Amino acid sequence: NAGVMQNPRHLVRRRGQEARLRCSPMKGHSHVYWYRQLPEEGLKFMVYLQKENIIDESGMPKERFSAEFPKEGPSILRIQQVVRGDSAAYFCASSPGVAYGYTFGSGTRLTVV
Amino acid sequence: ELKVEQNPLFLSMQEGKNYTIYCNYSTTSDRLYWYRQDPGKSLESLFVLLSNGAVKQEGRLMASLDTKARLSTLHITAAVHDLSATYFCAVTNTGNQFYFGTGTSLTVIP
């Protein structure tokens, strides 16, 4: 079992470009969560998805951010028209169900220049 | 919204000493987690505490939970350099959303 796989590990984007972050959950896990970690801070919840459904997106910024978890393939966190303030580590986690703990991926470190 | 506070934020301690990290949370939660994060790395699960009075130990780390006081502690015994990392506590709501504390950055000095 390869664990939660995130790619890329590091991503550099110029202001105004789009960033796409990918997350493949652990085998058998149908629940995916995205968190953002700003420097020197804890993780902040962004969105919770199950296959083809967004369950809770209360932590997502209202503009430029979107997430999906299609029937086939990884979950994608998409940030359009990136700004410097989007620079952060983005972690994906998966679980087999609501009553279970998470397994975290290694994160994608986004730098906006 | 659930709020989670940790203290201290920074902790520098000598090898061989003992210390405790505190985690307070604002509303009832049925699960509390402790994680370790090394610089530039992901979060490693240390403990899951599920009930009042729960105590778990792994090596030099021991975690406890008091749900009435909404307080968890992570006790470090006879610290060694390898324990240097940032430690986070987190609690969950019914939707399985995690609320993380701000973290305690621990440095163990030889």
pLDDT, tens digit, 9 for 90 and up, residues B29-49: 778 999 999 988 889 999 999
Question: What span, in angstroms and rounded, lies between the C-alpha atoms of A76 and B88?
Answer: 26
Q: Do A106 and B41 count as a contact with CB atoms less than 8 A apart?
A: yes
Choose among B91, B86, B84: nearest CA to B104: B86
Write down the pLDDT at residue B28: 82
Choose among B38, B59, A95: nearest CA to B47: B59
Q: Please give the structure tokens belonging to residue A63.
A: 């503009």
Find residues 24-43 of chain B whose CB sits inside 8 Å of chain A. Answer: 31, 33, 40-43
- Is B41 in contact with B34 (CB distance < 8 Å)? no
Helix (H) or strand (E) holding A111: strand A108-112
Find residues 5-64 of chain A whose CB sits inside 8 Å of chain B. Answer: 31, 33, 35, 41-45, 48, 55-56, 58-59
Q: Do A101 and B101 count as a contact with CB atoms less than 8 A apart?
A: no
Q: Do B98 and A35 count as a contact with CB atoms less than 8 A apart?
A: yes
Within B1-110, strands assigned E span 4-7, 10-14, 19-25, 32-37, 43-49, 55-58, 61-66, 71-76, 85-92, 98-100, 104-109
- Is B72 in contact with B49 (CB distance < 8 Å)? yes
Write down the pLDDT at residue B10: 94
- Residue A73's Cβ-side half-sphere holds a number of Cα atoms within 13 Å equal to 10
- Is A95 in contact with B96 (CB distance < 8 Å)? yes
* Cα torsion through A22, B91, A38, B110, rounded to 10: -110
Question: What span, in angstroms and rounded, lies between the C-alpha atoms of A25 and A69?
Answer: 10
pLDDT at A1 > cutoff 60: no
Shortest alpha-carbon distance between residue B69 and chain A (Å): 22
- Number of CB pairs, chain A paired with chain B, less than 8 A apart: 53
Set of chain A residues whose Cβ sits within 8 Å of the Cβ of B45? 101-103
Residue B92's pLDDT band (boundaries 50, 70, 90)? confident
Determine the average pLDDT of the residues in A24-34: 93
Determine the average pLDDT of the residues in B2-9: 92
Q: What is residue A85's three-state secondary structure?
A: helix
Find residues 46-105 of chain B whose CB sits inside 8 Å of chain A. Answer: 48, 88, 90, 94-103
pLDDT at A40 > cutoff 80: no
Question: What span, in angstroms and rounded, lies between the C-alpha atoms of B58 and B38?
Answer: 18
